Amino acid sequence: MKKIFLLTLMICFFVGCSNDKQKDKDENTSVNIEANLEQGEDVNFDIHLIDGNSISVQKSNEKITFDTDKATLFVFFTTWCTPCVAEIPYLNNLQNKYKDQINIVGVLLEDKSDEDIKAFKDKNKIVYEIANGENNYLLAKSLGGVNGIPTMFLYDKYSKLINEYLGLIPQEMLEIDIQKAVF
């Protein structure tokens, strides 16, 4: 019985949420994204944060850059995804520990108002930034696509991709890569 429980727990730990609940909505959005972003096309856009700030994104050929002087961890999530909510405490820990060297940005992949997201942020005591809006889907497409949630992309301060993650990742493993990105 213990073995079955441990096996089930490990499977849940390493598997992210499926985005079937949002499939119809995301398919409509994906059509718009593909219309706006052809393969190899250069794009410039802003990711809008719910605090009123933004992050500029420039993609030229296969090179993508961000207007930040810190390493950045983009965390693609939805509010209904259990592993996404489960990772919040350790993302908070990492943001607090490396606040001078890294920006953790939650990138919402569902249609919610900024007020709804602020309530979600308060309820879950999130200390990192959250991006909301249609350009979140453009960012996902620009980074190569998001096939499940949570998905994370870690970039150093020079916009070099350090690692990409799918599913719930242990804090210790993520911290090792963050140290590579910030030093």
Amino acid at 178: I
**What does the mean pLDDT of the chain come to?**
82
Q: Using one digit for the tens of pLDDT, what is the confidence trace for 80-118? A: 999 999 999 999 999 999 999 999 999 999 999 999 999
pTM: 0.79
Instruction: Assign 40 a pLDDT band (cuts: 50, 70, 90).
Output: low
Q: What is the model's pLDDT at position 78?
A: 96
Mean pLDDT score, 153-177:
94
Q: Show me where the domains of the chain are located.
A: 2-182
Q: What is the CATH code of the structural domain delimited by 2-182?
A: 3.40.30.10
Residue 159's Cβ-count burial label (10 Å; 0-12, 13-18, 19+) is middle
Cα–Cα distance between 92 and 118 in angstroms, integer?
Answer: 16
Beta-carbon contacts of 4 under 8 Å, excluding residues fewer than 6 positions away, are: none
